[in-house]
């Protein structure tokens, strides 16, 4: 069984690791049994930060066989999507809000044999994906606003639970195997609440991970995952 078919997938966010020691951090992830890496690509416009360059992703691709789940948070997507396809990632999740041709972009990614997903900002309605849901390998729900640097302590939006449950219902009613990804201040409580049968992939960052004790952090998350499943 491939990792993508598993339940309650823990996917650490690359930009939350020690950016000066990424290769050693990747080795810790591998030793901890992590198989999916969440790779945020930001352009400094869609979200006011740009912590990771494409060349870094390209070099990391040569150093690990982990599943690269790339979240493209940019204004102009074409360049970044083409570069990621060339690098050889396993999934590209793009934002509906900055893509004028959602169906076309899904087709473009699928044509290269890569999984395609759609990301939605907190206030973007689920109706945005209604007609393409059957083509999505995943839908990523952001539980905080991109650009959280404006509000350092921003909490998950109050309507996150309702949106997660409504998306799960949409997918179930159509008999689809589309994954639900949750991103933004993901906590152990979120994993405990949604990990059994409501969501599939949890993008974990500083709320769950201690950079100084990654192994211990992942051990605790794996124990939580076992309790859930």
Q: Tell me the catalytic residues.
A: 40, 183
SS3 216: helix
Terminal-to-terminal C-alpha distance of the chain: 16
Residue the block writes with tokens 């969440």: 38
CB 68, CB 19: distance < 8 Å: no
Residue the block writes with tokens 């990990």: 195
DSSP run (H or E) holding 180? strand 179-183
191 C-beta neighbours (distance < 10 Å), count: 22
> Dihedral through CA 153, CA 75, CA 108, CA 176, nearest 10?
30
DSSP run (H or E) holding 138? strand 138-142
Sign of CA pseudo-dihedral 194, 143, 173, 101: negative
DSSP assignment letter at 78: H
Q: How many residues does this entry show for the chain?
A: 229
Token pair of 98 as six digits? 């900055």
CA 29 to chain centre: 16
């Amino acid at each position: 069984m491939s990792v993508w078919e598993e339940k309650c997938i823990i996917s650490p966010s690359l930009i939350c690791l020690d950016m000066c020691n990424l290769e050693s951090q990747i080795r810790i992830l591998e030793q901890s049994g992590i198989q999916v890496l969440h790779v945020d690509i930001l352009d400094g416009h869609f979200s006011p930060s740009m912590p990771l360059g494409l060349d870094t992703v390209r070099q990391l691709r040569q150093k690990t066989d982990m599943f690269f789940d790339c979240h493209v948070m940019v204004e102009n997507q074409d360049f970044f999507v083409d570069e990621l396809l060339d690098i050889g990632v396993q999934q590209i999740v793009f934002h509906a809000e900055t893509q004028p041709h959602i169906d076309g972009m899904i087709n473009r990614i699928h044509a290269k044999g890569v999984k395609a997903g759609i990301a939605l900002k907190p206030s973007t309605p689920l109706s945005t994906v209604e007609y393409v849901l059957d083509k999505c390998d995943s839908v990523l729900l952001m539980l905080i606003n991109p650009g959280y640097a404006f509000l350092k302590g921003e909490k998950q939006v109050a309507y996150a639970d309702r949106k997660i449950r409504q998306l799960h219902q949409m997918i179930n009613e159509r008999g689809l195997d589309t994954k639900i990804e949750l991103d933004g201040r993901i906590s152990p409580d979120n994993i405990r609440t949604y990990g059994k049968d409501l969501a599939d992939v949890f993008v974990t960052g500083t709320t769950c991970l201690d950079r100084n004790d990654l192994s211990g952090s992942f051990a605790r998350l794996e124990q939580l995952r076992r309790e859930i499943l």
